[in-house]
Chain A
């Protein structure tokens, strides 16, 4: 595997900074999905507004195993420094800036998505890695939230 960039997660308190965005496509192909996601995760799609150039969505996954929750986001062509991962209370926000050079001038587009994370996440132990254009955020579960195996002897 090529170099896995491990980014440390910083916990912020509001207000968080917003990136200045250039004008972009205001129609999102994910419009229909937004309500779906809201419903499924009670997520709040934030970090953008029409004034900032509209929604620029990227696909996200939410998975779990015994020990962790995982959020994956497709963010091709974004440099690590331009990826932000924040947890504020129970809301995880992934934000990114895509820069595009065309001759002399550079356009930048910023976009972000937020998902509600379950209470049993140890938010001080969250880690993120970016590889092949995919950001993976690992959110460890608290011990008490992990499934416990209890063997009961049957007599």
Chain B
């Protein structure tokens, strides 16, 4: 899939102790679609930064174990989620749309003009 070729895997982590969230990618004609699972992350704790060649998503969990609570068994973590993609400017960074709902982030990454399919009419 061209998405994976152009929009390659994760780069270095900025957060010292972060975990990589589960995510899914797909491609539509006009945009790449990225779904990231960020349980426990509220809108105000989510940072999405797009710079040339890099898209970074950092989500901090809203919940911390309160004082006076004893943990009998824990499987969930408290580390922030971090996901960084490198890409070759195939995305129109100004037009990214993001929606966070029930711990799932849906990003629509419109393709840059240069990678959109072009119809060439034959004279």
Chain A residues proximal to chain B, CB less than 8 Å: 2, 33, 37, 40-41, 59-66, 70, 72, 74-79, 130, 132-134
Contact = CB atoms under 8 A, between A and B. Distances in A.
Nearest to A80: B102
B102 A132 contact: yes
Contacts, number: 78
Given A132-B39, A132-B42, A134-B40, A70 B103 contact: no
B57 to A, nearest CB: 14
Interface of B: 37-43, 62-63, 65-66, 68-76, 101-104
A77 B37 contact: yes
A118 to B, nearest CB: 10
B41 A132 contact: yes
A2 B76 contact: no
Contact of A132 (B62, B71, B75): B62
A85 B103 CA distance: 19
B75 A65 contact: no
Contacts of B76: 59-61, 72, 74
A74 B74 CA distance: 12
B39 A74 contact: yes
Nearest to B76: A59
Taking chain A's interface residues, is the majority helix, strand, or loop, or is none over half, making it mixed?
Answer: mixed
Contacts of A76: 37-39, 102-104
A63 B68 CA distance: 10
Given A132-B41, A133-B40, A77 B102 contact: yes
B39 A70 contact: no
Given A76-B104, A77-B102, A77-B103, A134 B39 contact: yes
Contacts of A132: 39-42, 62-63, 102-103
Contacts of B70: 63-65
Contacts of A37: 73
Contacts of A77: 37, 101-104
Nearest to B71: A63
